[in-house]
């Protein structure tokens, strides 16, 4: 696999997936993890 091409999309996809699931598990720390993980792609776009 061409990691130059797919590295960032896979990383952002994993972070999005973690964020989507984390907030389902519990409030507090899990919700915080979700904000961070899902927030990363939006910060990337803002940059």
Partner 1 sequence: MTVKTFKTWYLVHKWTSLICTAFLLMLCITGLPLIFHHEIEHLLGDTPEVAEMPAGTPIVPLDRLVAAAQQQRPGEQVMFMSWDDEEPELAWITTGPDMKANENLHFLAFDNRTGEVLKLISQNELSFMRIMFQLHVDLFAGLPGKLFLGFMGLLFVVAIVTGIAVYGPLMRKLDFGTVRKQRSARVKWLDLHNMLGIVTVVWALVVGGTGVINTWADLIIKYWQFDQLASMTAPYVGQPMPATLGSLEAAMATARKAAPDMDPAFVAFPGGNFSSPHHYAFFMRGDAPLTARLLKPVLVDAQTAALTDTRDMPWYVTALLVSQPLHFGDYGGMPLKVIWALFDIVTIVVLGSGLYLWLKRRRNPIEQRIRELEQDAGAPLGLAARSSL
Q: Is 29 in the site for partner 1 (CB under 8 A)?
A: no
Q: How far is the CB of 10 from partner 1 (least distance, A)?
A: 10
DSSP state for residue 27 in the 8-state scheme: S
Separation of CA 6 from chain center: 15
Q: How far is the CB of 9 from partner 1 (least distance, A)?
A: 5
**Phi-psi label, residue 28: left if phi above 0, alpha if psi -120 to 50, beta otherwise:** left
> What tokens does 44 get?
């990337």
In the complex, the residues that contact partner 1 under the rule CB under 8 A are: 2, 4-9, 12-13, 16-17, 19-20, 23-27, 31, 34-35, 38-39, 41-42, 44-45
């Amino acid at each position: 696999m061409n990691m130059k091409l797919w590295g960032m999309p896979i990383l952002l996809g994993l972070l999005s997936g973690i964020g989507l699931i984390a907030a389902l598990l519990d409030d507090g720390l899990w919700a915080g993890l979700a904000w961070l993980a899902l927030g990363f792609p939006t910060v990337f776009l803002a940059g």
